Each structure stands twice: as structure tokens, then as C-alpha cells.
Amino acid sequence: MTNNVSFNDLVELTSSLLHKGFGYSPQEAGITATILVEADARGIASHGVSRLAFYRTNLNQGHAHPGRVPQIVHETPCSLVIDGQAGLGCYIADFAVKKTIDKARTTGVCYSSVRNSNHYGIAGYWAEQVAKEQMIGMAFTNTYIAGVPTFGNLRILGTNPIAVAIPEANGQIFLLDMATTTVTHGKVELYDRRHKPMPLGWVVDEKGLEVTDATAFEKTFYQTNYGGHLYLGGVGEESGGHKGFGLALLVELLCSGLSLGASSLQTYSKGGSGQIAHFFGALRMDLFGKAEDIQSHIGQILKSIRESGKAEGQDRIYIHGEKEKEARALSLEKGVFLDQATKDYLVGLCKEYGVEAIKGL
Amino acid sequence: MTNNVSFNDLVELTSSLLHKGFGYSPQEAGITATILVEADARGIASHGVSRLAFYRTNLNQGHAHPGRVPQIVHETPCSLVIDGQAGLGCYIADFAVKKTIDKARTTGVCYSSVRNSNHYGIAGYWAEQVAKEQMIGMAFTNTYIAGVPTFGNLRILGTNPIAVAIPEANGQIFLLDMATTTVTHGKVELYDRRHKPMPLGWVVDEKGLEVTDATAFEKTFYQTNYGGHLYLGGVGEESGGHKGFGLALLVELLCSGLSLGASSLQTYSKGGSGQIAHFFGALRMDLFGKAEDIQSHIGQILKSIRESGKAEGQDRIYIHGEKEKEARALSLEKGVFLDQATKDYLVGLCKEYGVEAIKGL
């Protein structure tokens, strides 16, 4: 536990800061704090409590507004369209996912498309909530512009993550949660801080050409919309960059397309609301037979992959979601790790808002 | 038209060969011929009429059997599980897709999971059939083992393609159709024939290490199950190879997992049936509001991407499906291009089965 903080303490502190400091309602604060701490606990620090700074900026810029109630603007027995009313992303996602699960419980399957929302934390968390109900869970979202299309030079789509969760045997969950860009921006920042050249396939410059100098890239990244992340598969078509770009575009069409929402390019415009769009899905396992049999069969397939031959120098093949699950278990046992900058930031917020700090900060 | 053959003539010839030569029923022959020629017409020669050789081998090996009728083994208002009875893949897919569309017409959405099938041609064709009905179409399939998991050295999953089709404005269709491997095996064969080194990120050898020598790779590829294709993102995690592997695994779980079917590793076993598994989906656009408005909004998003900035040396950003659509239009106008080896193969089949050859062969 040395230097780490207790999971529950951190949720409570984050919730207090959001409520007392940022003006979130207790409900909004509770769900948001849970998602942020879940990310830290799973080792996804880029989406953890350090995001409080971003959430605060969103309030200050008028992108996000506490107290807004999501509105269902279209509904069928197996679908929902929700307008988030420029409220808080985690709260809106929680609302949408619960409604989606409820409908799927009755009809077998439900999809919801959400517009006018904000950042909702790690996509995988939402897909996982569905999978806990013995349904296949899906959670997609567009984001602020980050990536450049194949043969383009302008950032016009987000990191547009895909998350799909499938319940397998023994309560385990296959959880694929991936940005459709090769890497997230946090990785580029890390290489910048360490003055380390980036691998090819991560980013292009304002001419749409591959570059490896993270520091030079970062200098121009925030000045214009030119240059940015490459999608999975890298530059051009030879290594499949057009496939990653296609996945990002698919996410965009499901999120902002089906909800008549804003596209990534229109998100977080000056003075405007966040305009983030999501897409959720829930598909009952027992639509295809006895859920238990299917989950056991899926467990066998995954087992055969875990046990298959290893590359030289490797001793484990990871199934998606395992690393994060193990990190989470360790965080519950030994506390959640936070880097010094994040601790300092939290301590600063505690002083500013008169909230008592927790052990380990 | 010089050297090219008429689209309709080629469908008719292929259908005759399948019927008179291979013993397909007229219905089985018709649908299979259509899919194969559609691939050639779109410039996807790897899945065109040259596949007749593979389809013939499947008959000889007892993997596929003409005259088998697919059986619905489980059914709800929004789902189907189908056993293909080791019949012909294109015929089974046609059966499944039509049933899936029918159910979605009534309930709004339907998924079908199919086991004990065979190769069904280009996945994109099936997704497109759904999109023509103003529904989002999905078609996934596992295949014979081709790819190696991240940190593995054994081929254990197929090229496991993902196809999603979304109707947009003016009858256009966004059509993402991608193998989840970086490239298909046809590309490796091409580099072998040209004695050209492959780019990194395509394949690994029997130790699970990246190699670029296509000729050396091909020599060992067919001798053991060790070494094989990498998934989108390449080797390891730095360039996102675990994401491509995750997509392949997702396809596997939806196809063979939900249908209780064989996994890629168990397909085409000696003397056994093909055991290929598929997954299809249909989701009505009007579940989310007025279909026309949604399609027009999607059209606007795609237009903004087509018109956005180009990389140095590039003059066009392609939306997925455009290249193939344009190639198809050209093939209808000027005839379908076939390489000499494919023409020779067709002429040989015509002689063998006493079928009259067509103009251009």
C-alpha cells in the first residue's frame, strides 16, 4: 500500500471533489468518480483521476453542464436515441446503458445512439456493464479530433474507440477495448517528455508524412488541425492503415451518424457544448441457445488460444481484458497507484475546495 | 473489352461449370457463380473465379457437399442459429442472409450465427445485400487458420474478415470489408513470385519472429502450423498488433462461439467437413428515426471526409467501398479482367466438362 491509495477512499475523494468543487450532483459525482478510479485501478492512467483537469476545463468552457437530464428523443422496443443535453458524459452513458440493458432484457437486443454528450471515461467499462448481465456489450464513441484519414493530412476523426465485451465461462469476460488509432495521445506525450523517437506508424505531420520526432510533433499539434494520429495499420494501405481508418469511420457513423449528432470535427468547438456522440449495444447470449453452453464453448476456444505456442522470448498470450482485470485485482489488494503529478493535482484540489485529503496522497 | 470477358457471360459460364462439372444444383451454382464473378468485377481477384480450384478441392476432400439443405437449429424473433450441414458456403450464406433480413424487417434487428458451412466468397457482398434493404449489414466469418496471436508462434485463427455496410445518401453504401490480418495470403504469394522482400508487420516465422523473405516463408508455411500472418497492427503491442488480434478473436467468438461451431483451428481437417462458421446481422436504419434523414446526415459526414486535406502526393481520400464500386462499374462497361492463369484454368475446365467457352477466354 506504500504510496498507493485505497480504491474506495479514492472513489470517495474524487466524488467529493466533483460534488463540492465542480458542482456535480451527488449522483453525477458518484458515477463519474467510479469510472475514473476504475481506469486507474486497471492501469489505464490516461483515463483515470488525472482527467479531472479535463473535466474541469469542460465546465469552464461551457462544453459540459451539471444537472442536465438526458432526453429520449426516439424509441422502439429495440432501440433508443438519446440527447445528452450537453450534460456529463459518464452520467449520460450510465443512463443510456441501463436503458439499453432493460430493453434487451425484454426484446433480446437493443441499441442506443446518443448525441450531445461528453467524455464518458473508458469505453470498456460500459461494454462490461452489459456483459455482466449475460449479454454481449458494445460501447463506441467519437472523441475530439485526433486522427488523419488514409492519404489525408487533416485531423477529422477522433480516436474513436471500439469496446466489445462477451461473457465467457466462469464469470470471466472477453473485453476488447481499443482506440482505433495506433496509439493514444498519452503515448506521444510520454515519448516527448523522454525525448525518445516514436516508432513509424504512430503519427503524420502537417503534410501527411510520417514523423518520429515526438517533441517537434507536439509543438505543432495544438496549433492547427493539420497532422495527427494514424489509425491502426499505420500510413497508407501497404500495412493496412485504410482498415484502421475504416474502423474509426464505422464508429463515427454509428455514433454521430445514427444519432444525427455532431461529427468529431464539430466537437468541443469554442463556446459550444462538447457534442460527443456514443453508440451502445446489448445482445442477449441466450438468443443463440443455452447461454451456459455457449459461454462454456467460448471458454474452450479462449483456453486453446491461451495454451497455444509462444513466440521466442514470450511466455504468455493475453486474452483481451486479462491484463486490466489482473491490474484491478492488485489495485484492490495493494491500493491504486497514482503518479506524483496526479497526487499533487489532487492535493491542490483538496486545498482549493476544503476537502480532506486521503491517506497516501 | 479486348481480353476482358462480359460479366454476364462469365456468370453463366461459371454457373455451368459448377452445375455440369462440379455437381452443384442450378440454384447452388447460380449464387456461387454470382459471388465469384462479383469479386473479379470489383478487382478482388483472390476471391474470384480462380477460387473454383479451391471449391473443387473442397468437394474432392469431402469438406463440402452439393445438395445439402441448411437447418435452422435455434430461432427467436431476432436471432437464428443455422447448421449448414457441410453444404456449399455461398448457398448457405444466401439462405442465412435472406432469413436474417426477413426477421429484421419485422422486428427491426436480427442476427444469425452459422456453423458447419464452407467458404462463402467476399464477406462484403453479404453485408451489402443487407444494406440494399435500408439496414446496416454485418457479415463476419472464420476461415482456415492463417494468423498468429500476439506473442504466439502458432497459426490458430483465420484471416477472420469483418464486413459492415451502412446505407448512405443517394443509394450509396459505406462498405468496410477487411481481413483482420494485415494482408491476405495472396499478397505474400505475389511477393514470393516477384522475389521481393515483404514489409515488416505482415508475417512471422515458426519462432514467432518477424521475417521479410517471402520465398523462405512460403517454403515452410505449408509444412507446419507454426509461423503465419500477423493481425492488423503487426507484431507485439507497440504498433497495436494486439488490437488486430483482438478483432480476429471477436470474429471467432461471434461465428464459432455463438453457433457452437468449430473454431478456425478445427476447420478443413483431413476427411472432415469444412466446418466454417459465420455471423450475420441486419439492423434497420429507421430504428433511429427517419431513415432518409439519417442517411443524408451520414452522407454529409462522408462528404466532409472526402473533401478534407490531402497528404503530399495524394489527390484523393477513399471512402470504403468506393474503389470496388468504381472497379465494378468499369467491369460492367468494359468486361471483367481475368489474368492468363485464370483464363487457362477456365478453358481447361470447359474442355474437361464439355462446356462451351465464352468470348475473351
The DSSP secondary structure of A154-174, one letter per residue, reads B--B----EEEEEE-GGG-EE
Å between B246 CA and nearest CA of chain A: 6
**A30 in B contact zone (CB under 8 Å):** no
pLDDT tens-digit profile of B123-177? 999 999 999 999 999 999 999 999 999 999 999 999 999 999 999 988 999 999 9
Å between B73 CA and nearest CA of chain A: 9
pLDDT of residue B60: 96
Average pLDDT score, chain B:
96
The strand pair at A228-229 and A276-284 is best described as: unpaired
**A182 in B contact zone (CB under 8 Å):** yes
Which of B305, B307, B322, B324 should one mutate to test binding to chain A, selecting the residue with the greatest count of A CBs within 10 A?
B305
Domain ranges (residues) in chain A: 1-60+337-361, 66-182+230-307, 185-229
**A190 in B contact zone (CB under 8 Å):** no
ipTM of the complex: 0.98
Which of B279, B292, B301, B307 should one mutate to test binding to chain A, selecting the residue with the greatest count of A CBs within 10 A?
B301
Which of B239, B265, B286, B302 should one mutate to test binding to chain A, selecting the residue with the greatest count of A CBs within 10 A?
B239
Residue B3 has a CB neighbour count (10 Å cut-off) of: 12
**A150 in B contact zone (CB under 8 Å):** yes
3-state helix, strand, coil in chain A (%, to 5): 45, 20, 40
Contact B118, B300 (CB under 8 A): no
pLDDT of residue A2: 63
Task: Let me know if the fold of A1-60+337-361 is the same as that of A66-182+230-307.
Answer: no
Confidence grade of residue A3 (pLDDT, cut at 50, 70, 90): confident
CA terminus-to-terminus distance, chain A: 12
**B288 in A contact zone (CB under 8 Å):** yes
Exposure string of A323-353, with b = 16+ CB inside 10 Å and e = fewer, is bbeebbebbeeebbbbeeebbebbeebbeee
Given an 8 Å threshold on Cβ–Cβ distance, is B152 in contact with A250? no
Q: CA of B266: which chain A residue's CA is closest? A: A301
Report the C-alpha gap between B6 and B52 in whole angstroms: 18
In chain A, % of residues over pLDDT 70: 99
Q: CA of B240: which chain A residue's CA is closest? A: A182
Confidence grade of residue A271 (pLDDT, cut at 50, 70, 90): confident
Given an 8 Å threshold on Cβ–Cβ distance, is A156 in contact with B244? no
Question: What mean pLDDT do residues B301-312 have?
Answer: 97
Q: CA of B152: which chain A residue's CA is closest? A: A310
Cell, residue B164: 459492415
Angle between helices A291-306 and B241-252 (to 10 degrees): 140
Given an 8 Å threshold on Cβ–Cβ distance, is A297 in contact with B260? yes
Exposure string of B199-217, with b = 16+ CB inside 10 Å and e = fewer, is bbbbbbbbebebbebbeeb
Q: CA of A153: which chain B residue's CA is closest? A: B311
Helices (H) and strands (E) in chain B, counts: 11, 10
Cell, residue A81: 436515441
Residues 6+ apart with CB under 8 A from B120: B35, B89, B90, B92, B93, B126, B141, B276, B278
**Nearest CB to A76; choose among B150, B202, B287:** B287
Q: Decide yes or no: CATH 1.10.1530.10 for domain B1-60+334-361.
A: yes
Contact B318, B326 (CB under 8 A): no
Strand partners, A123: none
- Alpha helices (H) in chain B, listed in sequence order: 7-16, 26-41, 52-60, 89-107, 123-131, 185-193, 214-221, 241-252, 291-306, 322-334, 340-353
**A324 in B contact zone (CB under 8 Å):** no
Note which residues in 107-126 of chain A have CB less than 8 A from chain B.
107-109, 111, 113
**Nearest CB to A304; choose among B209, B239, B265:** B265
Give A283 or A223, the one with higher predicted confidence: A283
Confidence grade of residue B299 (pLDDT, cut at 50, 70, 90): very high
Contact B123, B286 (CB under 8 A): no
C-alpha dihedral sign at A56, A58, A61, A62 = negative
**B182 in A contact zone (CB under 8 Å):** yes
Q: CA of B108: which chain A residue's CA is closest? A: A78
Helices (H) and strands (E) in chain A, counts: 11, 10
Does B351 have pLDDT greater than 90?
A: yes
pLDDT tens-digit profile of B44-101? 999 999 999 999 999 999 999 999 999 999 999 999 999 999 999 999 999 999 999 9
**A233 in B contact zone (CB under 8 Å):** yes
Give me the phi and psi of A34, to 5 degrees please: -60, -50
Greatest Cα pair distance, chain B, in angstroms, is 56
**A291 in B contact zone (CB under 8 Å):** no
Q: Which residues of A touch B43 (CB under 8 A)?
A: none
Given an 8 Å threshold on Cβ–Cβ distance, is B317 in contact with A239? no
Q: Which CATH number fits domain A1-60+337-361: 3.30.565.10, 1.20.120.430, 1.10.1530.10, 3.30.230.10?
A: 1.10.1530.10
pLDDT of residue B2: 62
pLDDT of residue B3: 83
**A266 in B contact zone (CB under 8 Å):** no
**B291 in A contact zone (CB under 8 Å):** no
Q: Which CATH number fits domain A66-182+230-307: 3.40.640.10, 3.40.50.150, 3.90.1150.60, 3.30.1370.60?
A: 3.30.1370.60
Residues 6+ apart with CB under 8 A from A77: A103, A106, A107, B108
Cell, residue A303: 483456453
* The length of chain A, given as a count of residues: 361
DSSP one-letter code for A148: -
Contact A84, A68 (CB under 8 A): yes
Q: Which residues of A touch B287 (CB under 8 A)?
A: 76, 78-79, 111
Topology of the domain covering A185-229: Wheat Germ Agglutinin (Isolectin 2); domain 1 (3.30.60)
The strand pair at A109-117 and A79-83 is best described as: parallel
Residue A241 has a CB neighbour count (10 Å cut-off) of: 24
Question: What mean pLDDT do residues A292-296 have?
Answer: 97
Report the C-alpha gap between B62 and B56 in whole angstroms: 10
**B46 in A contact zone (CB under 8 Å):** no
Å between B136 CA and nearest CA of chain A: 10
Given an 8 Å threshold on Cβ–Cβ distance, is A288 in contact with B154? no
pLDDT of residue A222: 85
Given an 8 Å threshold on Cβ–Cβ distance, is B253 in contact with A298? yes
Å between A361 CA and nearest CA of chain B: 32
**B166 in A contact zone (CB under 8 Å):** yes
In chain B, % of residues over pLDDT 90: 94
DSSP line for B184-252: -HHHHHHHHHTT-PPPTTSEE-TTS-EE--HHHHHHHHTT-SBSEEPBTT-STTTTTHHHHHHHHHHHH
Does B9 have pLDDT greater than 90?
A: yes
Given an 8 Å threshold on Cβ–Cβ distance, is B250 in contact with A318? no
pLDDT tens-digit profile of A169-214? 889 999 999 999 999 998 999 899 999 999 999 999 999 999 999 9
pLDDT of residue A151: 98
Q: Decide yes or no: CATH 3.30.1370.60 for domain B68-182+230-307.
A: yes
C-alpha dihedral sign at B212, B215, B218, B219 = negative
Contact B335, B358 (CB under 8 A): no
pLDDT tens-digit profile of A103-158? 999 999 999 999 999 999 999 999 999 999 999 999 999 999 999 999 999 999 99
Task: Tell me the Ramachandran region of residue A151: left when phi exceeds 0, alpha when psi lies from -120 to 50, beta otherwise.
Answer: left
